[in-house]
Structure 1
Amino acid sequence: MKEIIEVIALFLGFVAWIMVFISLEDKYWKESTQEGSVIITSTIYENLWMSCASDSTGIYNCRDFPSLFALPGYIQASRALMITSIVFGTFGLVATLVGMQCSKIGADNYVLKGRIAAIGGVFFLLQGICTMITVSWYAANITQEFFNDFYFGIKYEIGEGLYIGWASAVLAICGGSCLLCSCKFKSPSEKTSYPYQPTSRGHVLSTVAASQIAPSNYGRNAYV
């Protein structure tokens, strides 16, 4: 049962890790709204790295943001959090592969493997938290500008990239929780590593050797 939970946690963590990359590559983190527009000639959409515009004929043009320091603070923080999320996910995958009971890495030290698996679960939780903070913060800025009557700039709506990020965060948190729960779960047939003990043959030999070395209090006539 414990091995099944660990495999499920690894699968969830791996899918969440892949979805972080998909979310970062997606250009539709926010898309210009069509609310209140009678004639729509172009659509503007952005993510953390670039801004794109497309017209009604399907022709689009994208440009990278010119300077990091010219960007709003929440975009800079979102970039850092998403990169941190990828790093946490990588460490989580490695730690989970090493700490799984069904893996051959780490020999038969199941206590140590369980602790490593728990560390992998913590990394998955940190990955999910970083991703959740990023997409939620980004979405909060979009909705704040959308419902602000005194904001006269371009108003945007939430894009598909944020939904992918939310799904990734939920999967990572679920995977980390499964790993932490599996470390507390103990089955009757769970293997336990014991310290090395000498064989019975060696024990007999050592006993015989000790009896030969020990002085005897009896003379030869006692054995006749």
Structure 2
Amino acid sequence: MVATCLQVVGFVTSFVGWIGIIVTTSTNDWVVTCGYTIPTCRKLDELGSKGLWADCVMATGLYHCKPLVDILILPGYVQACRALMIAASVLGLPAILLLLTVLPCIRMGHEPGVAKYRRAQLAGVMLILLALCAMVATIWFPVCAHRETTIVSFGYSLYAGWIGAVDAGPWPEVCVIMVRGWEAHSSARLRSQKSRKASCLAFCSLNTPLSFHCLKRNL
């Protein structure tokens, strides 16, 4: 029961983390910027937001975004962060599907337990790469954006990315891998116990005083 709960928690946490990374990739509220001094922007209520795909202006009753479609003139860090976040979003789909097949309620024919263990390992590697890509992009972007303009605060997109990278990070898949390893060890131990018991019962079949004591112990 504990093993099943751990696997389900690991899968759900990884799935939520992947959704957070998709939200981060598709939204533009990464950093909140200001063209003037911070007190002036707050007084005039003229703030901007900057993301991977557009620069937006937020004023009283106005929200206008300018899409960043000119790839050749974009800063290098924006293009690199785009590539990292797209890679993280794409890696999440096969990783989540692999984790889904590892759950105890999912069986694919009469496969051995080691097959699920290997799929869990592969999903773990993919999720670690996903988390690294997202973490690098969500740290690199605000650092470089701060050199171009004044950043007032971080947007919800960055927070979603950080939470997603942590949720989809190492601990869910480590949990699943540990459970699969524990199950494999338990299966091997059970087979060993059955083998010893069968050997003892074979010895007990002999008509000796010692065999009767052995038979009584194994019944």
TM range (shorter): 0.7 to 0.9
After TM superposition, list the pairs within 5 Å mapping 1:53-92 onto structure 2: 53-56=57-60, 58-92=61-95
Residue 105 of structure 1 aligns to which amino acid in structure 2?
M
CA contact (8 A) 1:115 1:183 kept: no
Partner in structure 2 of residue 49 of structure 1: 53
1:138-165 alpha-carbon deviations (Å, 9 max, x no partner):
122244x2xxxxxxx6312322211110
Deviation of 1:15 (Å): 0.5
Deviation of 1:18 (Å): 0.9
- Radius of gyration: which is bigger? 1
CA contact (8 A) 1:53 1:61 kept: yes
Correspondent of 1:35 among 34, 38, 45: 38
After TM superposition, list the pairs within 5 Å mapping 1:1-224 onto structure 2: 1-33=2-34, 35-37=38-40, 39-56=43-60, 58-143=61-146, 145=147, 154-156=149-151, 157-173=153-169, 174-186=171-183, 190=187
- Length-normalised TM-score, structure 2: 0.75
- 2-structure distance, mates of 1:187, 1:115: 12
Q: Which runs of 5+ in 1 are unaligned?
A: 146-152, 195-224
Deviation of 1:106 (Å): 4.4
CA contact (8 A) 2:121 2:177 kept: yes
CA contact (8 A) 1:118 1:183 kept: no
Runs of 4+ in 1 over 4 A off after TM superposition: 187-192
Deviation of 1:76 (Å): 0.4
Deviation of 1:118 (Å): 1.4
CA contact (8 A) 2:98 2:123 kept: yes
Matched pairs, number: 184
- Length-normalised TM-score, structure 1: 0.73
CA contact (8 A) 1:100 1:117 kept: no
Identity, in percent, stands at 26
1:91-149 alpha-carbon deviations (Å, 9 max, x no partner):
11111122333311243411111111111111111111111111011122244x2xxxx
- 1-structure distance, mates of 2:150, 2:25: 21
Residue 134 of structure 2 aligns to which amino acid in structure 1?
T
**RMSD across aligned positions (CA):** 2.4
Deviation of 1:62 (Å): 1.2
Residue 29 of structure 2 aligns to which amino acid in structure 1?
Y
Q: Which runs of 5+ in 2 are unaligned?
A: 192-219
